[in-house]
Amino acid sequence: MADIDNKDQAEMDPADMEDVEDVEEEEAGEDENSKARQLTVQMMQNPQILAALQERLDGLNGSPSGYMESLPKVVKRRVNALKNLQVKCAHIEAKFYEEVHELERKYAALYQPLFDKRSDIVKAAYEPTEEESEWKTDEEEELTEEMKEKAKLEEEKKDEEKEDPKGIPEFWLTVFKNVDLLSDILQEHDEPILKHLQDIKVKFSDPGQPMSFTLEFHFEANDFFTNTVLTKTYKMRSEPDENDPFSFDGPEIMSCTGCTIDWTKGKNVTLKTIKKKQKHKGRGTVRTVTKTVPNDSFFNFFTPPEVPDNGELDEDSEALLAADFEIGHFIRERIVPRAVLYFTGEAIEDDDDDYDEEGEEADDEEGEEEADEENDPDYDPKKDAAPPAECRQQ
């Protein structure tokens, strides 16, 4: 049998022999690529290797490129001149944001009468007229006059059967529950308190004062605390850092201060009482000790970590402040101006649509690229195979 195989091989055309060799080389290459991919997956699942790679990448962050080092001295001198121009641009940009802050203050005064009227409707201090309450929905536009009249009678019948609610009950609580950023820090024991929240206002710093804004949470009289207003002030800075001017990207929140909540006895939801049993080492007797410990609550928002004078914080405090700044900025920029749309859920749908559109565009672009590659007669799929994983020292 071996002789027959050898004879067949000897009788094969030289071109056929080349084809056999090419196939063997391709199969060997595919095996190597498959092994390389398996090795890559194994390495990416090794936490020590990932940590080493991350450390290496962190070390490269901000380091000058080899290209800059290779430039002639006279060109480097001109690049330095461009950097100095960029610093001046950053200072002009800072002035621009200061004027934007002045515009915000100006237009806040124009918005406020509308926000005050919103608050009056929510807390039943004002009943809107028929003209003010008229709003056509998409569904109503498609209904015939007869159907509209029937729907109106049914609504009136339902209203007669129900108790007449005052204002818009649980308006701000509903807003909070509809927004993931706020509902994540909202606890069940916070909800009875937030039912008494009547308004949230934004107050900007006075002209000539350091840039800041204050969030005011206005409450009706309740059994939980005696405050009628809880405040949170955010101090901002709109100037480039002398040590890192190129990092400037508009005003940034530097610190924030809350307020003291005057809790009614036994109503403080930011604290909880736990009981622990302790055993005496010598006598072996057991006693029960009662301790008061911090409790998760939205109202911890009003007691943020203090930023020391040197600005250094531990990782936990940094994470808390970063989340705090994000919440404060979101309430100021989105919640207060568009509260009714977060109450109805329309603003949330708009936010979701924005993300979906971006994702669809990205998918379309990827699909176009794949189609172009398939239609390209010179396209070689082997070139896209994952290369062997290597850790190289730069």
More confident residue, 51 or 298: 298
Q: Residue 34: its pLDDT value, please?
A: 67
* Cα angle: 282, vertex 285, 287; to 5 degrees: 125
Q: Residue 126: its pLDDT value, please?
A: 94
Q: Give the model confidence (pLDDT) of 101-132 as tens digits.
A: 889 989 999 999 999 999 999 999 999 999 99
284 sits in the region (left: phi over 0; alpha: psi -120 to 50; else beta) called: left
What number is the average pLDDT over the span 58-64? Answer: 52
What number is the average pLDDT over the span 162-166? Answer: 76
Task: Give Cα separations from 330 to 84, 135, 180, 342 (angstroms).
Answer: 34, 28, 11, 12
Cα 205 from Cα 207, distance rounded (Å)? 7
Q: Residue 387: its pLDDT value, please?
A: 43
CA neighbours within 13 Å on the CB side: how many for 323?
16
More confident residue, 303 or 62: 303
What number is the average pLDDT over the span 251-265? Answer: 90
Q: Residue 29: its pLDDT value, please?
A: 58
Tokens of 360: 């669809």
3-class DSSP state of 205: coil
Going from N- to C-terminal start, the domains of the chain cover 97-128+167-308+315-350
> Which positions ≥6 away from 387 have C-beta within 8 Å?
36
Q: Residue 257: its pLDDT value, please?
A: 93
Q: Residue 250: its pLDDT value, please?
A: 77
More confident residue, 9 or 48: 48
Query: Band of the pLDDT at 6, cuts 50, 70, 90?
Result: very low
Q: Give the model confidence (pLDDT) of 173-205 as tens digits.
A: 999 999 999 999 999 999 999 999 999 999 999
Q: Residue 392: its pLDDT value, please?
A: 37
Most confident of 146-150, 230-234, 250-254: 230-234
Scanning the structure block, which residue is given the tokens 């049993």?
277
Q: Residue 67: its pLDDT value, please?
A: 84
What number is the average pLDDT over the span 47-76? Answer: 68
What number is the average pLDDT over the span 347-367? Answer: 56
Q: Please check the confidence at residue 18 and state whether its pLDDT lies above 70.
A: no
Q: Residue 265: its pLDDT value, please?
A: 93
Q: Give the model confidence (pLDDT) of 358-382 as tens digits.
A: 454 445 555 544 545 445 545 554 4
Q: Residue 289: its pLDDT value, please?
A: 81
Strands (E), the chain: 197-204, 212-219, 229-237, 252-257, 271-279, 286-294
Q: Residue 81: its pLDDT value, please?
A: 94
Chain mean pLDDT for the chain: 78
Q: Please check the confidence at residue 282 and state whether its pLDDT lies above 80.
A: no
User: Which of these CATH numbers, 3.40.630.30, 3.60.21.10, 3.30.1120.90, 3.40.50.300, describes 97-128+167-308+315-350?
Assistant: 3.30.1120.90
More confident residue, 37 or 194: 194
Q: Please check the confidence at residue 246 and state whether its pLDDT lies above 70.
A: yes
Q: What percent of the chain stands above pLDDT 70?
A: 64
Do the beta carbons of residue 214 and residue 203 sit within 8 Å? yes
Q: Please check the confidence at residue 244 and state whether its pLDDT lies above 60.
A: yes
Q: Please check the confidence at residue 145 and state whether its pLDDT lies above 60.
A: yes
Q: Residue 243: its pLDDT value, please?
A: 81
Q: Residue 207: its pLDDT value, please?
A: 85
Query: Band of the pLDDT at 238, cuts 50, 70, 90?
Result: confident
Q: Give the helix ranges, DSSP H, for the chain.
A: 2-11, 14-44, 47-60, 66-70, 73-122, 130-133, 138-142, 145-161, 171-178, 180-183, 191-194, 315-330, 339-344, 346-375
